[in-house]
Structure 1
Amino acid sequence: MRYTLSMGPHCRRRSFRTIAPIRITSKARGNSMETTVEAGILSLSDAQKSTIHRAASELFAAAVLNLPARLSNRDLSGAGGTKVIGAFVSVKRQGRLRSCCGFLGEETTVAEAIEKAAERTATDDQRFPRVSPLELPYMELETWLLHSPKLIEAKGHDRAAAVEIGKHGVQVARAGNRGLLLPSVATEAKFTPEQFLQQVCMKAGLPPSLWVEDETQLWTFEGLEFGGPIEAGAAKEGALVPGVPYPGEILDRIAKGCADNIFLLYRGATASYVLNGCPDGNVAGIALFINEPGTPETMEVSKMSMRPLMPLQSSLFMLCQGAAAALKQRAKTRHGPQSLNLAIAILFDPVMHGTVAAPDLRGFDPTKRALLVAEGQNNAWLYDPEKTAEQLLEDAAKAAKVTTPEAAGVFSLGICSSGKPLSVVRTVEPQIGPTVRGANQAGRFYPADKDELNATLDKLFEGDAPPAEAWPAVMMPHAGLQYSGKVAADALRRVKIPSTVIVLCPKHTPLGVEWAVAPNEEWALPTGNVPSDPALAKELATTIDGLELDGAAHHMEHAIEVELPLLQRLAPEAKVVGIAIGAGTYARLEKLAEGLAYVLDKRKDDVLFVISSDMNHFATDEENRLLDEQALAALETLDPHKAFDAIMDKRISMCGVRPAVVVMETLKRWNRLNKAVRTGYATTADTTGDKSRVVGYAGMLLG
């Protein structure tokens, strides 16, 4: 799995200052070891590296344990006073990044640099839960001492020549956005210089193509890296198990206070915002399990946040409010429940254990901790002292509906509970929705008025076109019709449209399941409804693993809706089935293609695939056209896997690359992927005249 390293939150706010090369010579007392920074090049002896690594380990462990992170001996075998312009400390577990923070652009000594970087890595990396003492025995620690910053003065694509992979790290700054990647990122991910510069732009929250622009400032820097397992002394300190913050008597008091509050809130009375006699504190999760005596159902209300943590008392009050509201909704009598059985679980001290594909369960004790599996919007945590760690992992992954084990994170959390076994499952469940899917993007992507929409379509389809031919697939853009409609219309009018059309699009919203086939019977438009084929949609969802009937995913999705007016104009009787595709590995996309080929092979009528996709997003017009040419050339190889790799490796933001791959793989299984023909190309600049930030649009026939 690829990963990127970033500055901690404090470092992101620092300004980068170019510092002249430093020339220093110093000698350690008694052993004649020399430390030199000659023309900006840092050199340390093995003994000095070992001393610094030991010190960084101790500083890091102290910060994890909430102890003062300060060096007792700042000499560091003669290296402590050496000048550097930054430092990063990176910790990994089983080779997987766990935390990394530091700074660049501040001239300081090695001693001061590792103090700052080690403490920040232990406490400040907002991408991950704070490091737990339980993790220290299983971690590797790397120290980077940074030097030799240099502004890249070249222009355009020539900037890549200034970056030497394996030697340079890179930093980018533009309009308040700033990002940094250490030299190891490029070597571990096997980036080219261009990919390295794209990645650092993305790290800064910028479009990946902006590295070529003059307004983007770029620097290279060099670093001396060394490390290894966290020193035994520091790791041993971390083996101390964190204490239980809410023992039985306090937990019972909290549970009783919650039950009292739920009754008060249910009846509209004033509840206690702070539970008397109960402590506060920051926790990672809370769950209330509520049962009315005499009923088999248990209601669960819960909340979780591993970064930042949650204040206990105010979070409990919010959960009690939610529980009271839920009880009101399902009350059987006006007076509601007369008593409640309430169990509570409080989660704390989150620990990362890798992924479902590569778990590292060392340090996990099922009798004291719950196990959490999370992938995308789905997650599940389980606590069962009677099961092994491996059993809990298997059960949690199943409950969380894991589809990509490499992307599903595994965590454990300390737990204080008044019951066992316990579980909380949060998964996105498909929703059938209305039989007619509304024209939800009318007025945004196309005219909401019937006459205006017809006039727009008249203009898009005006003029002569080549005779329509039988093609199994067409790629069309899906921006507003005023921007991409002409390219889409020119592609579609080249195709004989059969009675069934399947539109595959990227999933642009977080709503619904990851892979969703639209369950509606019709699609509403200002010009009249477009029929779907619910029977085919159901068969696809039933047959293909991971594909579900879900109206929520399609509720606000524009990438199918924008194509409907064009399809309706040319083939008003055609049935249109929509499939939205979110994340997915290539192996999963192949499985989806296999399922499509299998289901559609049994049909006697022809089917047209529509790939709904825009091309690259938000580069200059010149750069966008260059990237789009590379993406289209990749598709023209007729090798879907190579095309996918090329587009992803070049960071081309073609949003429909996965739908394109699925269609190409399906056609390949039918021996119908033999030719690709471009039908048109444009960018938003062709409409607006603004070439500073554009999106590309292309039409292509495949068959």
Structure 2
Amino acid sequence: MIRNPAVAGAFYPAEPNNLVEMIEYCYLHKLGPGTIPSKGVFKKPIGVVCPHAGYLYSGPVAAHSYNAISRKIDDSITAVVLGPNHTGLGSGVSTMKGIWRAPLGDMHTDDEFIDMLWKECDVIDLDETSHLREHSIEVQIPFLQHLELLNAVKFRIVPICMMMQDYETAVEIGYFIAKISKELDKKVIVIASSDFTHYEPQEVASKKDAIVIKDILNMNEKELYADVINNNITMCGYGPVIAMIKAMKELGAKNSRLLSYSTSGDITGDYSSVVGYGSLLIE
């Protein structure tokens, strides 16, 4: 199975040189980390929350996540990338095996990990349909490939697309990500792809986002789910974030850190209706 790009030329440049320039622009942007990533050393699994809007809007915030990742990886890495299903296509929760084609080359899936995951975790299907037009996982791929170019590291991905984001489903996915990571003794990173509040005034969005950011920093996945529902927070990928937190706790994570938060208003200057973007690290 070859999964071709669905949003190249829209969410990010389709031409390779322009794409590299855009990614480096995100790192060096005033809202970005300010430096191009350097090589690192893998010591333990890490998890990040990373936005998935067009690079012009959320790329500088996303660059904080990948700058943190770059310092904590080497050799061969399995990147579990969880994203919400925006298209409504395919299964409730799905993974897929094959090649993800992108402007910077092909990225292969970790088929050994995926085979165990969908066979052991009852809520996950093997279904490429969910992935064909979904952008939430795709926009993470060029950032990973850019790290490969810089760091002599090699990623294989485990893409998980979640239409079902209820609490029980999300924590089950997280549990099995951790279980299989340990059984296969993989060097694993877990990327939860999510934007925060959508299309509300800056002052409303920032207050709502502060609630979920606090829950993520507390690594309290149950409180995160409750707060999203009770406060009507339009965070599109709360299920992927819950799964990531659960996986990281099962893998022994003790620390969390907010790396960056901003909104689309910080790019456009229009604060009347914004989308919130956050980068967080759990290790």
- 1:508 paired with 2:82, answer no
Deviations 1:284-303 (A, max 9, x none): xxxxxxxxxxxxxxxxxxxx
| Mapped partners of 2:49, 2:165: distance in 1 | 20
- The amino acid of 2:59's aligned partner reads G
Q: How many pairs were matched up?
A: 267
Aligned residue for 1:558?
135
Aligned residue for 2:280?
700
Deviations 1:522-551 (A, max 9, x none): 211112112221232222111110201111
Aligned residue for 2:226?
645
Instruction: For 1:291-690, list aligned pairs within 5 A.
Output: 435-462=1-28, 463-464=34-35, 472-495=46-69, 496-497=72-73, 499-520=77-98, 522-572=99-149, 573-672=154-253, 674-690=254-270
Deviations 1:615-638 (A, max 9, x none): 111101121111111110121222
Q: Is the 8 A contact 2:100 2:108 kept in 1?
A: yes
| Mapped partners of 1:512, 1:466: distance in 2 | 36
Q: Which runs of 4+ in 1 moved over 6 A?
A: none
The alpha-carbon deviation at position 485 of structure 1 amounts to 0.5
The alpha-carbon deviation at position 497 of structure 1 amounts to 3.2
Q: Is the 8 A contact 1:544 1:596 kept in 2?
A: no
The alpha-carbon deviation at position 464 of structure 1 amounts to 2.8
| Mapped partners of 1:466, 1:454: distance in 2 | 13
Q: Which runs of 5+ in 2 are unaligned?
A: 29-33
Q: Higher relative CO (CA 8 A, sep ≥ 6), structure 1 or 2?
A: 2
SS at match of 1:447: coil
- In structure 2, relative to structure 1, the CA distance for the partners of 1:465 and 1:679 (3 Å cut) is farther
The alpha-carbon deviation at position 594 of structure 1 amounts to 2.4
Q: Is the 8 A contact 1:505 1:612 kept in 2?
A: yes
| Mapped partners of 1:485, 1:585: distance in 2 | 28
| Mapped partners of 1:564, 1:605: distance in 2 | 19
SS at match of 1:529: strand
Aligned residue for 1:691?
271
Q: If each structure's strand is expressed as a fraction of its own residues, which one has the higher value?
A: 1
SS at match of 2:276: strand
- The amino acid of 1:518's aligned partner reads M
| Mapped partners of 1:448, 1:671: distance in 2 | 39
SS at match of 1:700: strand
Q: Is the 8 A contact 1:615 1:696 kept in 2?
A: yes
- In structure 2, relative to structure 1, the CA distance for the partners of 1:629 and 1:584 (3 Å cut) is closer
| Mapped partners of 1:466, 1:481: distance in 2 | 17
The alpha-carbon deviation at position 519 of structure 1 amounts to 2.1
Deviations 1:434-475 (A, max 9, x none): x22101111111011222112111212334368757551011
Q: Which runs of 5+ in 1 are unaligned?
A: 1-434
Q: Is the 8 A contact 1:634 1:647 kept in 2?
A: no
Aligned residue for 2:31?
none
| Mapped partners of 2:230, 2:2: distance in 1 | 40
Q: If each structure's helix is expressed as a fraction of its own residues, which one has the higher value?
A: 2
| Mapped partners of 1:535, 1:603: distance in 2 | 9
The alpha-carbon deviation at position 604 of structure 1 amounts to 2.0
| Mapped partners of 2:73, 2:10: distance in 1 | 26
| Mapped partners of 2:105, 2:176: distance in 1 | 32
Q: Is the 8 A contact 1:515 1:579 kept in 2?
A: yes
| Mapped partners of 1:477, 1:698: distance in 2 | 6
- The amino acid of 1:569's aligned partner reads H
The alpha-carbon deviation at position 676 of structure 1 amounts to 1.3
Q: Is the 8 A contact 1:504 1:659 kept in 2?
A: yes
SS at match of 1:459: helix
Deviations 1:170-224 (A, max 9, x none): xxxxxxxxxxxxxxxxxxxxxxxxxxxxxxxxxxxxxxxxxxxxxxxxxxxxxxx
| Mapped partners of 2:200, 2:147: distance in 1 | 33
The alpha-carbon deviation at position 691 of structure 1 amounts to 1.2
RMSD of aligned residue pairs (Cα, Å): 1.7
- The amino acid of 2:242's aligned partner reads V
- The amino acid of 1:474's aligned partner reads V
SS at match of 1:493: helix
| Mapped partners of 2:260, 2:165: distance in 1 | 29
Q: Is the 8 A contact 1:545 1:592 kept in 2?
A: no
SS at match of 2:86: coil
Deviations 1:556-580 (A, max 9, x none): 0000110111111013521112101
SS at match of 1:565: helix
TM-score by length of 2: 0.89
| Mapped partners of 1:445, 1:453: distance in 2 | 11
Instruction: For 1:271-290, list aligned pairs within 5 A.
Output: none
| Mapped partners of 1:583, 1:439: distance in 2 | 23
Q: Is the 8 A contact 1:465 1:494 kept in 2?
A: no
Q: Is the 8 A contact 2:165 2:238 kept in 1?
A: no
